[in-house]
Chain A
Amino acid sequence: MGVLLARGRARRSGNGWWVGRVPGPASRYMDLNWRRVFRMGGVMKRIGTIYLRLASAALALGFSLPSLAAVERWKLNMTPGVTEVSRQVYDIHMTILWICIVIGVLVFGAMAVAIFRFRKSRGAVAATWSHNDKAEVVLTIVPVLILVAMAWPATQVLIHMADTRNAEMTIEVTGYQWKWGYRYVDSDVSFISSLARNSDDTRQLGSGLSPDQVKSYLLDVDRPLVIPADTKVRFVITSGDVIHSWWVPALGWKQDAIPGIINDQWTLVKEPGIYRGQCAELCGKDHGFMPIVVEVKPKTEFAQWLAAQQNPDAAAAAAAIATTAEPVAAAAAPGQG
């Protein structure tokens, strides 16, 4: 019962542009689309969590669900994301969108009126005037004012986004054809993250396998990037071969990975969760097959995870525990990937 309810609500709430600007608190099991479920409030949150546990248990037992409910289809709009920056970006996006819609309604409305009223078949006789200086001046100045009104908040957000100072940790991201390398600069931990095996098998031409049956098809990796919650993380981004672009929509930005150049960006995610993205710059034949998964862990869990990475011998037990609870299979298991 609870399962059906949660799925129904999720689907209905998912389609409007206007739904929820500020995502609610997230659970660590949460995939991007499930945040909408949790926004329904406490009861729904609990039901959703139960459902998710059931679903992951079913998966663990080897049942394949006919359709993986976490996929939100017919999506129309940008995600508000999970950081302060991503929400600011979303707000600016919505502001400009509404300004454009209002201008569009006025201009196209005037056109529609002209088309219906001033048609020859209705006996309209053409006027002969061909200019009106006052109208032209007004229609130059008003757009300038609207543009200033748009540029002001955009500038503020941009200045905020450009400030990579005071980061608490730094992660080096390196694009390769066609995988991502991550290095925790302060702790001598590094690994490669590539497309998950089941997605890779399914995506082959003529594989005969259905993408519907693969969880997070093309958006899942063998080893996700793990970062701590509530921490300002600075990314330094570069490439080992051609230009790539590192993009997780929920974080609100993408940044090109360019050989010979180091770009930096930052994020601060309050709540734990798993966030997915893809390479966004054409980088060769498998450009579509180098996803990004960021797993945000609570600070203490992150510290344990990092310690385990630094000391793989002691890590086996901890990793095994973590694995059973993670939606991303074998996320932290050393020696894989």
Chain B
Amino acid sequence: MAHDASAHRDEHGHDHKPHGFVNRWLYATNHKDIGTMYLVMALVMFFVGGLMAMVIRGELMYPGLQLVEPEFFNQMTTMHALVMIFGAVMPAFVGLANWMVPMMIGAPDMALPRMNNWSFWIMPFAFTVLLLPLALKVFFGIGAGGPAGGWTLYPPLSLQGGDSVAFTIFAVHMMGISSIMGAINIIATILNMRAPGMDLLKMPVFVWAWLITAFLLIAVMPVLAGAVTMLLTDKFFGTTFFSASGGGDPVMFQHIFWFFGHPEVYIMILPAFGVVSEIIPTFARKPLFGYKAMVYAIASIAFLSFIVWAHHMFTVGIPLGGELFFMYATMLIAVPTGIKVFNWVFTMWRGSMTFETPMLFALGFVIMFTIGGFSGLMLAIVPADFQYHDTYFVVAHFHYVLVTGAVFSIMAATYYWLPKWSGRMYNETLGKWHFWLSTVFVNLLFFPQHFLGLAGMPRRIPDYNVAFADWNLVSSIGGFGFGLSQLIFAYIVWDCVRNQSLAKAADRVWEGARGLEWTLPSPAPYHSFATPPVIEDRMLAHADVAH
């Protein structure tokens, strides 16, 4: 009802919003509608993957097995990762790109709207296929459940899975196609549809980050597709790509997988850099420090991501020269990453800061992502990695960069742009509660995992010696608290979209905000810029970099 009413309210006089659910959503070609669908799907998958995490933390709360069998525990860790990476974090960033890139560069829509439709609508089907074996087992007792060999799908273990292997691989193929099409669309949009005056080096850093991310996606998703196809034929058609008994090599899979996998982790963090680089200048009321350095840093990180893959495999028995090369290359990533962190701090320096919810999440990001960066640097040191590898230290590391990094930046972005999307201000008090509860609990959840790993607890185990009991209990309490805190987030978003009595948002929602998206009305009209805007440098966040 509510959106029927708003569909008739014609903001710009040329608002041709389609009527009816099928026309509006299934046949969607509008970048905002598709962006909304991506974001909603990401939120749903965030809770699905979160429930799996609750099972994991529930089982690990005390030593001994209390809740689930080890096989089911392994299915939980495997599916938690697949769902969170491919279902929550990546689609959330694609959703943000769909919503914001055309608005930030002065374009009417994405360059390839029908392909945009397809790249979204593949996703719900991909996740149905991925989750089906697990759901059949859990709800109907049919079959053996989902994949249990870890999200990295290492053979020979992953090939011991039953029919779920075929489901997983088919789902990965579909997600790959979706990601590649989404990436092509973003590149085509950014390179072809910028309004006159939006030079490449005046683009928002978020747009830059997504341009580079899209190239990473196109480069590595086919690599993953190749790796899983070889798994498929090894499993069902008698090939031996990864079996030594037939002349293959299990380690080759790991090389191919991580050639995809390391750029993949930057696919999940570069857009986060972009988001934070938009938010901090807004709330510091001061231009981003070192815009060009920020762009070049993102590009360098993207390049380096292709030559560091074997740091995930230091213990497989790589020759000394190889280990040294991958150690040095990995350590080098600290330089551009350091530049980014320093520049965010310089942006705050001598600013005039306020601390609305988006800024709180962005500041939380800078601190906690940097902690994840420190542990990443430690993991790069090969001799030390011989101890850290495959322990909870690694689990702590990648959850700091992915949860307090990528996920926090997605939350920051949501609070930052939500008033522009809905036309109303969200509940700021609840937003602050959401931030503080999340921050306290997420640190209770993940910081003790550093200690567990250093004390000798391997990852992916359902039970442990009593020496690890205390920090696991703390971590589980943090986990439940963090999980519950996210219900506040879901409520705030729902409230902001549906509650008509909330205060109407101004066009320039935040006092210090600059950039083309803030020149549009709130809520943003159905079609962004039907005619290219006349751009003046004072409208842009990063226009003063040319000198």
Contacts and interface: CB of A to CB of B under 8 A. Distances in A.
Interface of A: 33, 71-79, 88-89, 92-93, 96-97, 100, 103-104, 107-108, 110-111, 114-115, 118-121, 124-132, 135-136, 139-140, 143-144, 147, 150-151, 154-155, 157-159, 161-162, 202-207, 209-212, 216-219, 241-243, 245, 247, 249, 252-256, 258-261, 263, 277-289
B154 A243 contact: yes
Contact of B244 (A78, A155, A261): A261
A203 B64 contact: yes
B469 interface: yes
Contacts of B389: 245, 254, 280
Nearest to B453: A78
B156 A259 contact: yes
Nearest to B338: A143
Interface of B: 63-66, 68-71, 74, 148-150, 154, 156-157, 160, 243-245, 249-251, 284-293, 315-317, 320, 323-324, 327-328, 331-332, 334-335, 338-339, 341-343, 345-346, 348-355, 363, 366-367, 370-371, 374, 377-378, 381-384, 386-387, 389-391, 451, 454-456, 458-467, 469-471, 512, 544-545
State the 3 A-B residue pairs at the shortest beta-carbon distance, nearest first: A260-B244, A288-B461, A263-B317
A14 B290 CA distance: 46
Given A75-B451, A89-B383, A261-B317, A217 B63 contact: yes
Nearest to B289: A130
Contacts of B244: 259-261
B381 A96 contact: yes
Contacts of A159: 320
B148 to A, nearest CB: 7
A209 B64 CA distance: 8
B313 to A, nearest CB: 8
B348 A114 contact: yes
A263 B70 CA distance: 28
A242 B160 contact: yes
Contacts of B386: 89, 161, 252-254
B462 A288 contact: yes
Contact of A114 (B64, B243, B351, B367): B351
Contacts of A219: 465
Nearest to A159: B320
Given A211-B466, A245-B390, A261-B251, A107 B342 contact: yes
A281 B391 CA distance: 9
B544 A130 contact: yes
A152 to B, nearest CB: 11
A218 B458 CA distance: 12
Contact of B354 (A77, A79, A120, A242): A120
A96 B342 contact: no
A81 B398 CA distance: 26
A101 to B, nearest CB: 8
Contacts of A126: 284-286, 350-352, 512
Contacts of A131: 289-293, 545
Contacts of B465: 71, 211, 216-219
Nearest to B366: A111
A139 to B, nearest CB: 5
Contact of A130 (B290, B455, B460): B290
A258 B317 contact: yes
B454 A77 contact: yes
Nearest to B469: A73
A207 B64 CA distance: 9
A246 B368 CA distance: 32
B315 A128 contact: no
B335 A140 contact: yes
A159 B323 CA distance: 10
Contacts of B370: 104, 107-108
Contacts of B317: 255-256, 258, 261, 263
Contacts of B454: 75-78
Contact of A247 (B250, B288, B367, B458): B458
Given A115-B363, A118-B349, A136-B293, A242 B157 contact: yes
B464 A96 contact: no
